[in-house]
């Protein structure tokens, strides 16, 4: 069965976006961190998004600015198959995108059973919390940034039970950010 991972940036106070949905605090012009992101992108499989994150990513990664600033990541983001979960999105504008509007947990379980490369969710806090609740996420990759923003959105908003995880990898960056990789304890 294919694995499903989450990759998200977090603040010290536990938010992945500020109260206005902004994530600019997570994007640093840092050679070490950018190299890590590019190496991580090489492992890519199928990309899963909620509508809001999909629209944000689709407005950036196909642009010349993205191609210039992070060419390897842009190439992967643009070429990999993408699935957006939405009940309102009528048309996908980003290449290699499929829209799914059925029951989220059922659709993800069906995708996990299909052959192919592993899948990863970027951003998309609403679907992360729902899929965590349904025990469908196998791995959580977080970059913890040395910043507190006071208010915003958490990834696990609405979680009604304890989620037990074990740390499997970590890395400290010179810029003060820390990469943490956790797997579900079954």
Contact status, residue 106 vs residue 133, Cβ threshold 8 Å: no
Regions of the chain short of the pLDDT cut 70: 38, 41-44
Structure tokens at 126: 């609403």
- What local confidence, expressed as pLDDT, does residue 4 receive? 96
* Residue 34 pLDDT: 74
Q: What is the pLDDT of residues 112-140, one digit of tens each?
A: 999 999 999 988 888 999 999 999 999 99
Q: pTM of the predicted model, to two decimals?
A: 0.90
Give the C-alpha separation, 32 to 144, whole Å: 15
Q: Which domains does the chain have, with CATH numbers?
A: 4-18+44-184 (3.40.430.10)
The tally of CA atoms less than 13 A away on the side-chain side of residue 72 is 11
């Amino acid at each position: 069965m294919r694995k499903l991972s989450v990759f998200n940036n977090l603040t010290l106070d536990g938010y992945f976006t500020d109260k206005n949905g902004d994530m600019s605090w997570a994007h640093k012009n840092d050679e070490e961190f950018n190299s890590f992101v590019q190496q991580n992108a090489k492992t890519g499989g199928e990309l899963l998004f909620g509508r809001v994150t999909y629209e944000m990513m689709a407005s950036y990664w196909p642009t010349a600015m993205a191609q210039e600033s992070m060419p390897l990541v842009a190439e992967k983001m643009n070429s990999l198959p993408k699935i957006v979960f939405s009940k309102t999105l009528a048309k996908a504008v980003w290449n290699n995108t499929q829209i799914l509007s059925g029951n989220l947990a059922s659709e993800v379980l069906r995708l996990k059973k299909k052959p192919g490369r592993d899948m990863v969710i970027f951003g998309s806090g609403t679907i992360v919390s729902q899929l965590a609740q349904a025990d469908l996420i196998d791995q959580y990759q977080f970059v913890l940034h040395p910043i507190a923003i006071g208010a915003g959105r958490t990834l696990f908003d609405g979680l009604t039970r304890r989620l037990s995880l074990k740390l499997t990898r970590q890395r400290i960056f010179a810029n003060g950010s820390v990469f943490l990789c956790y797997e579900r304890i079954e």
